[in-house]
Chain A
Amino acid sequence: GDSVTQMEGPVTLSEEAFLTINCTYTATGYPSLFWYVQYPGEGLQLLLKATKADDKGSNKGFEATYRKETTSFHLEKGSVQVSDSAVYFCALTFGFGNEKLTFGTGTRLTIIP
């Protein structure tokens, strides 16, 4: 079945460091890919998405590129802030009548000043 694998956390970085959180997927076909984020005390919310190969999703300084050849959707940010501390989830869906999102296990990110 479909699955998402993301790097295990927790990840701790200093403010202004470069961030990469790896995500790879296994699926039959070409899903849409997402990153969701959960800030402390809040519900999961969509951070960015990409719906086809080579698309780049971006939001709040974060970027991820849909790489079909490596079945990956790594999350990157050039300079992290303390406010980026959260749990990040990679997910996929096929939509079009198959609406369920398949999630990775989540990566907890802590940014220290």
Chain B
Amino acid sequence: GAGVSQSPSNKVTEKGKDVELRCDPISGHTALYWYRQRLGQGLEFLIYFQGNSAPDKSGLPSDRFSAERTGESVSTLTIQRTQQEDSAVYLCASSLKTGSPLHFGNGTRLTVT
């Protein structure tokens, strides 16, 4: 596609349930990043991938969060046993290579009730 695609665009889930968020990067982009933005706060870095390896996963807030990437393609961010504080917009970005400008998707708005 023309840009970074994220799905779903909105997700409402009950506390304690698992959720999976998907990111389709721009074709050919080797670097992929996940960020989240909680209400009234800046974007928090979660993890980035170079190809299918994750050199920096320092931003994952707890072991309930995990992410994987298949080759230089789709990435999924999984949140297990969701909590209300996980409510946020989760943003994915990709770049041609590390150090190149990031292209962001429109995000997934996650609401945990």
Residues of chain A having any CB pair with chain B under 8 Å:
4, 36, 38, 41-46, 49, 89, 91, 95-106
Contacts and interface: CB of A to CB of B under 8 A. Distances in A.
B45 A100 contact: yes
B87 to A, nearest CB: 17
12 contacts: A43-B103, A43-B104, A43-B106, A44-B102, A46-B102, A97-B55, A101-B45, A101-B102, A102-B45, A103-B35, A103-B42, A106-B42
B4 A43 contact: yes
Contacts of B101: 46, 49
Interface residues on B, range: 20 to 34
Interface of B: 3-4, 31, 33, 35, 40-43, 45, 48, 55-56, 58-59, 91, 93, 98-99, 101-107
A93 B15 CA distance: 34
A100 B104 CA distance: 14
